[in-house]
């Protein structure tokens, strides 16, 4: 007899090249979420970022330096660490090497005031070379977040303009260690040691362009020491512009304790599908001294080891694994009884269909397909009119402040789309393809032909982007915004 899991995995296979298994929703761990901590005013933490080209030899580049674009000298990725209640004051100075290469910072997953959201034209003027902009806000949620450019994202993020934002204040008791694992590919030609194309026609109209180098924290399968037999927090962040991973841990027990930065009742990690921009916080029982465990991506066709963990020192814990949960978030609960419903349909444009259907688009040009449009994707039939933001379309919807909404998200395409909402987080209610525990998320992975329902309270006034986080899709039309008034 098929178990529920086999059934779910089997259903998820249909129509996709990859199998997307779902993690079990059955709780095995008994400890309950903590109450949220009270928000008290903290310190002001000032950082100065200079977006610039820097020749950096990440360990994965095998001794070569590449002309990365980064926010700061020194360590990549930069990490900002705050306590809940602290105000971040981040100055962004643009020293990018190209005329008219404007930039900005979007604080991904942070429910902040609209004018701090970093979307050029929509909420701020793009920061031109030589100019500066000051971001100032108090993040309302503790957890694991990240930040990235929202201008020419395919190239700027492709070259490294991103960082990690951690807001402390969500633990109920200390873990034995706390590590960040930023997962992404690098679009690098290994022969020449140069960046390869960040945007390809084939990628934009299909599943996106994959990088040749798979990395964690800029290294290939790095060895990460963990306190032996400790309960170790791992903040796993997929910042790849394209790749959907199926994350698992081998040779250690691991639980998911947060999704997109926000606490969930701990449940066992089996395989978790993580699209671009998605995060999970894991607690892993580290191996004993000298023994190894592995973080893997099990997406077909090939299992890839992303990082390995080696136990160090005297054993920290002897009791059975029952990880400490985090503290609940303070996201307002949507009222499902009086929620208004809106539908969003994600599908290809006519030009996108033509390119996607072309036998082999490698080396194909728009001209040879008799297509002049660079728009391959739409939301509710409307494409973003330009890769850039300079020509703003009307909003996809106007929402009333404090009203609850249920969005039905329908993917009418053969590719996956991680759909990201700015300024809010939504609660996943149900899906016709994947079985996942109810949770909050700012980015929801929609499988091919999947229909999912999400709900949230439109409590944050302003114009908020709503887009696919496969950056080539975003920049070829699958982007829009809604207005909360």
Which residues lie near Cu ion (CB under 5 A)?
417, 468, 470, 473
Beta carbon of residue 474, minimum distance to ligand C2O (angstroms, whole number): 7
**Residue 467 interacts with ligand C2O (CB under 6 A): yes or no:** yes
Pick between residue 235 and residue 469 the one whose CB is nearest to ligand C2O.
Answer: 469
Cα(191)–Cα(163) distance, rounded to whole angstroms?
28
**Residue 243 interacts with ligand C2O (CB under 6 A): yes or no:** no
What are the φ and ψ backbone dihedral angles of 367, each rounded to 5 degrees?
A: -60, -45
Nearest to 346 by CA among 294, 414, 431: 414
Partner touching 465 among ligand C2O, Cu ion, none, CB below 5 to 8 Å by kind: ligand C2O
CB 209 within 8 A of CB 242: yes
Beta carbon of residue 92, minimum distance to ligand C2O (angstroms, whole number): 16
Nearest to 19 by CA among 277, 352, 271, 276: 271
**Residue 417 interacts with ligand C2O (CB under 6 A): yes or no:** no
**Residue 465 interacts with ligand C2O (CB under 6 A): yes or no:** yes
Beta carbon of residue 479, minimum distance to Cu ion (angstroms, whole number): 10
- The residues in 212-241 that bind ligand C2O, with binding defined as CB under 6 A, are none
* Stretch near ligand C2O under the rule CB under 6 A, chosen from 136-144, 300-308, 326-334, 464-472: 464-472
Partner touching 433 among ligand C2O, Cu ion, none, CB below 5 to 8 Å by kind: none
Pick between residue 422 and residue 473 the one whose CB is nearest to ligand C2O.
Answer: 422
- The residues in 105-164 that bind ligand C2O, with binding defined as CB under 6 A, are 106, 108, 148, 150
Name the residue whose CB lies closest to ligand C2O. Answer: 108
* Stretch near ligand C2O under the rule CB under 6 A, chosen from 330-338, 358-366, 380-388, 462-470: 462-470
Q: What are the residues whose beta carbons fall under 8 Å from the beta carbon of 314, sequence distance 6 or more?
A: 228, 289
Pick between residue 118 and residue 323 the one whose CB is nearest to ligand C2O.
Answer: 118
Pick between residue 261 and residue 323 the one whose CB is nearest to ligand C2O.
Answer: 261
Beta carbon of residue 425, minimum distance to ligand C2O (angstroms, whole number): 13
Partner touching 470 among Cu ion, ligand C2O, none, CB below 5 to 8 Å by kind: Cu ion
**Residue 277 interacts with ligand C2O (CB under 6 A): yes or no:** yes
Partner touching 184 among ligand C2O, Cu ion, none, CB below 5 to 8 Å by kind: none
Give the interface with ligand C2O as residue ranges (CB under 6 A): 106, 108, 148, 150, 277, 420, 422, 465, 467, 469
């Amino acid at each position: 007899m098929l178990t529920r899991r086999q059934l779910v995995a089997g259903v998820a296979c249909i129509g996709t090249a990859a199998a997307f298994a779902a993690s079990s929703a059955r709780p095995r761990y008994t400890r309950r979420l903590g109450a949220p901590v009270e928000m008290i005013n903290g310190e002001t933490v000032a950082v100065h970022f200079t977006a610039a080209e820097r020749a950096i030899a990440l360990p994965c580049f095998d001794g070569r330096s590449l002309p990365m674009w980064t926010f700061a000298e020194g360590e990549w990725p930069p990490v900002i660490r705050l306590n809940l209640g602290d105000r971040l004051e981040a100055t962004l100075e643009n020293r990018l090497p190209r005329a008219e290469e404007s930039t900005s910072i979007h604080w991904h997953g942070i429910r902040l005031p609209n004018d701090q959201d970093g979307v050029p034209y929509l909420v701020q003027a793009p920061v031109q070379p030589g100019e500066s902009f000051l971001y100032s806000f108090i993040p309302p949620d503790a957890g694991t977040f990240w930040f990235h450019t929202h201008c020419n994202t395919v190239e700027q993020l492709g070259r490294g303009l991103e960082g990690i934002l951690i807001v402390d204040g969500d633990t109920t008791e200390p873990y034995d260690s706390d590590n960040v694992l930023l997962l992404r590919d690098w679009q690098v030609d290994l022969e020449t040691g140069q960046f390869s194309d960040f945007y390809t026609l084939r990628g934009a109209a299909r599943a996106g362009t994959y990088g040749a180098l798979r990395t964690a924290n800029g290294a290939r399968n790095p060895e990460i020491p963990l306190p032996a037999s400790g309960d170790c927090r791992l903040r796993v962040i997929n910042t790849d512009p394209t790749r959907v991973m199926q994350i698992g841990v081998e040779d250690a027990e691991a639980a998911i304790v947060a999704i997109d930065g926000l606490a969930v009742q701990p449940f066992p990690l089996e395989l978790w599908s993580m699209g671009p921009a998605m995060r999970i916080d894991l607690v892993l029982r580290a191996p004993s001294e000298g023994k190894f465990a592995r973080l893997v991506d099990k997406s077909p066709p090939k299992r890839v080891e992303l990082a390995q963990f080696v136990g160090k020192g005297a054993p920290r814990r002897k009791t059975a694994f029952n990880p400490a949960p985090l503290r609940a978030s303070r996201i307002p609960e949507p009222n499902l009884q009086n929620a208004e419903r809106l539908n969003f349909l994600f599908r290809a444009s006519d030009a996108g269909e033509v390119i996607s259907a072309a036998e082999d688009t490698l080396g194909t040009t728009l001209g040879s397909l008799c297509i002049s449009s660079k728009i391959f994707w739409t939301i509710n039939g409307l494409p973003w009119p330009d890769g850039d933001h300079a020509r703003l379309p009307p909003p996809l919807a106007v929402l009333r402040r404090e009203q609850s909404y249920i969005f039905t998200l329908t993917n009418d395409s053969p590719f996956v789309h991680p759909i990201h909402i700015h300024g809010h987080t939504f609660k996943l209610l149900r899906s016709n393809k994947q079985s996942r525990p109810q949770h909050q998320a700012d980015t929801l992975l929609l499988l091919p032909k999947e229909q999912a329902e999400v709900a949230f309270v439109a409590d944050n006034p302003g114009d908020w982007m709503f887009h696919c986080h496969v950056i080539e899709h975003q920049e070829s039309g699958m982007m829009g915004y809604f207005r909360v008034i």
